[in-house]
Structure 1
Amino acid sequence: MKIVADENMPYVDALFGDLGEIIRVDGRSLQAQQLSDIDVLLVRSVTKVNAGLLASCKNLQFVGTATIGMDHIDTQYLDSREIGYANAPGCNATAVGEYAFIAMLELARRFSEPLKDKVVGIVGAGNTGSAVQKCLEAYGVKTLLHDPFVAQSADPRAFVSLDRLVELCDVISLHVPLTKTGRHPTWYLFDEKRLASLKPGTWLLNCCRGEVIDNRALIALKRQREDIKLVLDVWEGEPHPMPELVPLTEIATPHIAGYSLEGKARGTFMLYQALMARLDKSGDKSMDSLLPALWSHAVTLNEQPEEKGLLTLSRLVYDLRDDDELFRQRFLNNNGFDLMRKNHKHRREFSALTLANNACSDVDWLSNIGFSGVGL
């Protein structure tokens, strides 16, 4: 079996090595002639998988994308050729949720505006949006949700209209797929008009797809309204963000909100499971075996952490300021955006840090946020 995999997808050798030959490729520049005799293709969101790419693939059995979204995959074409495919829904939801939560804590600290005093609107209540809500509610922050699709399901949570959310919320965090058609398209969901309606002092975070916000309209808005605070992990025109937008943000990163070691391992492992099912084989690998040993012994809590202490604990796991600083230095370099993504291998999730409770009362909320070991 011949397997072609994106060079930035981790743990491929450990999981798929027993199945055949593995060839690593640059997913963004992948060409059809590289795939003529392959059996399995493993990609990320930077690869557009369509008829043009796969026309000469006579033996292709399976396409896997280690992403939540499928907008880069022509599933109708794959169905027409009876090629199996799978994505990895929820693989990086925890990482994205924690990224957004940490970013809010950083803004709260920077501008001396406690997060607990804010109302946070979450646009998109799927896996990643729900992960953000989980952190916020565990910490005691009020949230409002908007998701016209989930609202029509059996989900018991309350939902509001997008206009109502924008009207009421101090913080807005975006977690929707990118769609141009259908009843509720998300392309330029936050266009010039909607951006202009943001209440004074709004914090706007985008951790889904760059084109959910009209970036040129965002530049114009930010130049007129310094009160709006921006956290952008995704950009219109990736991997080439509009250079004039980056200095207008409070936190800027190269589409790495979901790039925890746990999230990466989970995504590749889900594709391994899907391929083994497609081959009607039982897999003998486990995800836990992929992750390195935890870097820290338990941190002992001697008192209930306030917001500053919570941010300190979060920085022990992932200091978002490092990625922000590096992005500003390198995003204009040749292939700077993609190289930062490729080399981003240091981040862990809250669960990597064990907290020991030294007789502190009521610390179960830290477990609910995601830290390990508390409440003992």
Structure 2
Amino acid sequence: MAIRKRPKVFITRKLPDPVETRMRELFDAHLNIEDRPLAQPELVAAMRESDVLVPTVTDRIDAAIIEQAGENLKLIANFGNGVDNIDIDAAARRGITVTNTPNVLSEDTADMTMALILAVPRRLTEGAQILTTDDGSWQGWSPTWMLGHRIWGKRLGIVGMGRIGTAVARRAKAFGLSIHYHNRRRVSQQTEDQLEATYWDSLDQMLARVDIVSVNCPSTPATFHLLSARRIALMKPGAYIVNTARGGIIDEAALIQALKDGAIAGAGLDVFEHEPAVDPKLIKLAESGRVVLLPHMGSATVEGRIDMGEKVIINIRAFVDGHRPPDRVLPGRN
């Protein structure tokens, strides 16, 4: 079905001003100025009235909602790399194309991953809180004050060696970490040689041998609770977990119990299983210094968000012009 020259594009959240301005120039764009998450009935109404929907990770576009889409809706141009918020198969059955915004957030997310890898063993947030708490607890430098653990020479196990995982590995190698990884497919020999990386086809075996685990794989049905209670129990008592991917990849209840029991040393989390809710037990652990918590800000840079918006615009324009969008997500990708 042909889409009119200026398609009606509904954007579910506020985007950077340069992106919104360009969308208004090119399309009949409906903006969310208040940046208020849409309730389900509002999302359904938008899909009934629009030619193109631009959702984000906070919008759950499941099969039931897709079935209520209007006849004119032919493109869901996701503002984000991950598409676990969209039922790709259901969209395909309705003849709706789905696109995403890959390859623009790898470096930003890898930066934040590395920050957490440093923050947890070196107790950075604990130290910062001491200086902002007016209780007189800091009396100056002491040889035994706020001792953390060195990361130089430790083993980092990367779960998911895609673009982000590889970017994390490059940073970690510069910090003197030994790189280990588990992935569905082995990376190229050249990449392994450059990173001096050790490949493990068994995730269980890798988890038992590394000092820090970095979760960088996509969220799919196959990776839900990939780090289960059984797998967390394989880790060393002195090991740390860092997650900047998706919260559901780790069994959060099992992680909390392991931290409480001292079965692992700590965790750095930028994502949560029931986001935006954060388990109060995690917050308590953070207050005690066992966990560093961030509010899903791993990819939050001005440059990254603008790059994402430009990808969305390119995908929409290609589709409207009758071409295959460059970032089309095919059914069965997971």
Please report how far the alpha carbon of residue 281 of structure 1 lies from its aligned counterpart in structure 2 after TM superposition.
Answer: 8.5
Specify whether residues 52 and 12 from structure 1 end up closer, same or farther in structure 2 by C-alpha distance, changes over 3 A only. Answer: farther
CA RMSD of aligned residues (A): 2.3
Specify whether residues 155 and 46 from structure 1 end up closer, same or farther in structure 2 by C-alpha distance, changes over 3 A only. Answer: farther
In structure 2, the residue matched to 1:97 is 110
Of 49, 70, 80, the match for 1:37: 49
Secondary structure in 1 matching 2:98: strand
Please report how far the alpha carbon of residue 154 of structure 1 lies from its aligned counterpart in structure 2 after TM superposition.
Answer: 8.2
Secondary structure in 2 matching 1:259: coil
Of 126, 135, 140, the match for 2:176: 140
The alignment status of 1:62 with 2:75, answered yes or no, reads yes
In structure 1, the residue matched to 2:283 is 246
- Work out the CA distance in 2 between the residues paired with 1:239 and 1:159: 34
Please report how far the alpha carbon of residue 51 of structure 1 lies from its aligned counterpart in structure 2 after TM superposition.
Answer: 4.1
Specify whether residues 152 and 231 from structure 1 end up closer, same or farther in structure 2 by C-alpha distance, changes over 3 A only. Answer: closer
- Structure with the bigger RCO (C-alpha within 8 Å, sep 6+) is 2
- Work out the CA distance in 2 between the residues paired with 1:227 and 1:266: 38
The alignment status of 1:2 with 2:8, answered yes or no, reads yes
* 1:48 counterpart letter in structure 2: R
In structure 1, the residue matched to 2:210 is 169
The alignment status of 1:78 with 2:91, answered yes or no, reads yes
The alignment status of 1:118 with 2:131, answered yes or no, reads no
* Structure 1 residues without counterparts, runs of 5 or longer: 283-376
Query: TM-score, structure 2 length as denominator?
Result: 0.76
8 Å Cα contact 1:32/1:52 also seen in 2: no
* Structure 2 residues without counterparts, runs of 5 or longer: 1-6, 124-146, 193-197, 324-334
Number of matched residues? Answer: 277
1:189-243 C-alpha deviation (Å, 9 max, x unpaired): 1111111221021111111111111111122111110751110111111111211
- Work out the CA distance in 2 between the residues paired with 1:60 and 1:154: 44
Secondary structure in 1 matching 2:71: coil
Q: Pick which of 150-159 and 224-233 moved more.
A: 150-159
Secondary structure in 2 matching 1:7: coil
Of 228, 231, 254, the match for 2:265: 228
In structure 2, the residue matched to 1:151 is 186
Q: Pick which of 14-23 and 194-203 moved more.
A: 14-23
8 Å Cα contact 2:237/2:263 also seen in 1: no
8 Å Cα contact 1:62/1:85 also seen in 2: yes
- Work out the CA distance in 2 between the residues paired with 1:241 and 1:17: 36
- Work out the CA distance in 2 between the residues paired with 1:51 and 1:221: 36
* 2:27 counterpart letter in structure 1: G
Please report how far the alpha carbon of residue 153 of structure 1 lies from its aligned counterpart in structure 2 after TM superposition.
Answer: 7.8
Please report how far the alpha carbon of residue 100 of structure 1 lies from its aligned counterpart in structure 2 after TM superposition.
Answer: 0.9
Specify whether residues 32 and 195 from structure 1 end up closer, same or farther in structure 2 by C-alpha distance, changes over 3 A only. Answer: same
Specify whether residues 12 and 179 from structure 1 end up closer, same or farther in structure 2 by C-alpha distance, changes over 3 A only. Answer: same
Please report how far the alpha carbon of residue 145 of structure 1 lies from its aligned counterpart in structure 2 after TM superposition.
Answer: 0.8
8 Å Cα contact 1:92/1:263 also seen in 2: yes
Secondary structure in 2 matching 1:35: helix
- Work out the CA distance in 2 between the residues paired with 1:72 and 1:138: 35
In structure 1, the residue matched to 2:21 is 14
The alignment status of 1:198 with 2:238, answered yes or no, reads no
Secondary structure in 1 matching 2:22: helix
Specify whether residues 118 and 154 from structure 1 end up closer, same or farther in structure 2 by C-alpha distance, changes over 3 A only. Answer: closer
Of 122, 127, 151, the match for 1:109: 122
8 Å Cα contact 1:100/1:207 also seen in 2: yes
Specify whether residues 136 and 153 from structure 1 end up closer, same or farther in structure 2 by C-alpha distance, changes over 3 A only. Answer: closer
- Work out the CA distance in 2 between the residues paired with 1:234 and 1:81: 31
Secondary structure in 1 matching 2:299: coil
In structure 1, the residue matched to 2:296 is 255
Specify whether residues 155 and 215 from structure 1 end up closer, same or farther in structure 2 by C-alpha distance, changes over 3 A only. Answer: farther
- Work out the CA distance in 1 between the residues paired with 2:167 and 2:48: 40
Secondary structure in 2 matching 1:145: strand
Percent identity at matched positions? 26
- Work out the CA distance in 2 between the residues paired with 1:219 and 1:244: 7
- Work out the CA distance in 2 between the residues paired with 1:22 and 1:159: 47
Please report how far the alpha carbon of residue 152 of structure 1 lies from its aligned counterpart in structure 2 after TM superposition.
Answer: 7.9
- Work out the CA distance in 2 between the residues paired with 1:225 and 1:140: 26
Specify whether residues 154 and 2 from structure 1 end up closer, same or farther in structure 2 by C-alpha distance, changes over 3 A only. Answer: farther
- Work out the CA distance in 1 between the residues paired with 2:65 and 2:108: 31
Specify whether residues 154 and 205 from structure 1 end up closer, same or farther in structure 2 by C-alpha distance, changes over 3 A only. Answer: same
- Work out the CA distance in 2 between the residues paired with 1:3 and 1:46: 18
Of 315, 318, 323, the match for 1:274: 315
- Work out the CA distance in 1 between the residues paired with 2:69 and 2:227: 40
8 Å Cα contact 1:94/1:263 also seen in 2: no
